[in-house]
A and B are shown apart, each in its own frame.
Chain A
Amino acid sequence: MAIAQSRSQSKSGVNWRAIWLPIAVALVVIFFLAPVLWQVLTSVKVNEDISAVPTVYFPTRYTLAHYASLFTRRPFGLYILNSAFVSITSTLLCLTLGAPAAYVLARLRLVGKEVILAIVLIVTLFPTVLLFLGLLEIVQATNLANNFLALIVPYTAINLPLTILVMRSFFQQLPKDLEDSARVDGYNTVQMLWQILLPMTLPALVTTGILTFIAAWNEFIFALTFISQENMKTIPVATAQLSGASVFEIPYGPIAAATILGTLPLILLVLFFQRKIVQGLTAGAVKG
Chain B
Amino acid sequence: MKLDVVQKREQKTGWVLLLPALIVLLVVYAYPILRAFWLSVFTQNLGTELEQVFSGLSNYGRMFSDGRFWQSLWNTTVFTTSSVLLELILGIGVALVLNQAFKGRGIVRTITLIPWALPTAVMGVAWAWIFNDQYGVVNDILRRLGLIETGISWLGNPTLAMIAVILADVWKTTPFIALLLLAGLQSIPGDLYEAHSLDGATPWQSFWKITIPLLMPQIIVSLLFRFAQAFAIFDLIQVMTGGGPGGATETVSIYIYSTVMRYLDFGYGSALIVVTFLILVIAVAIASFLLTRARANAAGVR
Interface residues of A (CB under 8 A from B): 1-4, 7-8, 17, 21-22, 24-25, 28-29, 31-33, 35-36, 38-39, 42, 50-55, 97-98, 100-101, 103-105, 108-111, 116, 119-120, 122-138, 153-154, 156-158, 160-161, 164, 188-190, 193, 214, 217-218, 220-221, 225, 235-237, 239-240, 242-243, 252, 255-256, 258-259, 262-263, 266-267, 269-271, 274, 277-278, 281-282, 285-286, 288
Contacts and interface: CB of A to CB of B under 8 A. Distances in A.
A240 B21 contact: no
Contact of A221 (B99, B137, B176, B235): B235
20 contacts: A3-B193, A4-B193, A36-B115, A98-B21, A101-B18, A108-B13, A125-B228, A133-B266, A136-B260, A138-B27, A153-B28, A158-B28, A218-B121, A218-B122, A220-B120, A240-B122, A243-B125, A269-B117, A274-B109, A286-B180
Contacts of B109: 274, 278
B269 interface: yes
Contacts of A262: 119, 122
B92 interface: no
Interface centre among B24, B193, B280 (most CB of A within 10 A): B24
A226 to B, nearest CB: 11
B113 A156 contact: no
Contacts of A116: 18, 22
B13 A190 contact: yes
Contacts of A217: 119
Contact of B179 (A24, A239, A271, A282): A282
Interface in B186-231: 190, 193-194, 197, 203, 218, 221-222, 224-225, 228-229, 231
B10 A4 contact: no
A4 B183 contact: no
A31 B135 contact: no
A202 to B, nearest CB: 19
Contacts of A25: 97, 102, 104, 108
A127 B253 contact: yes
Contacts of A122: 284
Given A28-B108, A130-B36, A242-B125, A35 B130 contact: yes
A66 B101 CA distance: 41
Interface in B19-62: 20-22, 24-25, 27-29, 31-36, 39
The 9 closest A-B pairs by CB, nearest first: A134-B32, A127-B232, A157-B28, A236-B121, A218-B119, A220-B235, A100-B17, A101-B21, A55-B140
A50 B140 CA distance: 12
A43 to B, nearest CB: 10
Contacts of B179: 278, 281-282
B171 A1 contact: no
Contacts of B222: 285
B127 A160 contact: no
Given A270-B117, A285-B180, A134 B24 contact: no
A225 B257 CA distance: 10
Contacts of A259: 122-123, 125-126
Classify the secondary structure of A's interface with B.
Answer: helix
Contacts of B129: 38-39, 42, 252, 255-256
B171 A160 contact: no
B187 to A, nearest CB: 9
Contact of A133 (B25, B98, B194, B260): B260
Given A50-B135, A97-B24, A270-B113, A134 B31 contact: yes
Which among B21, B224, B256 has the highest number of chain A CB atoms within 10 Å?
A: B21
Interface stretch (B64-72, B156-164, B270-278): B270-278
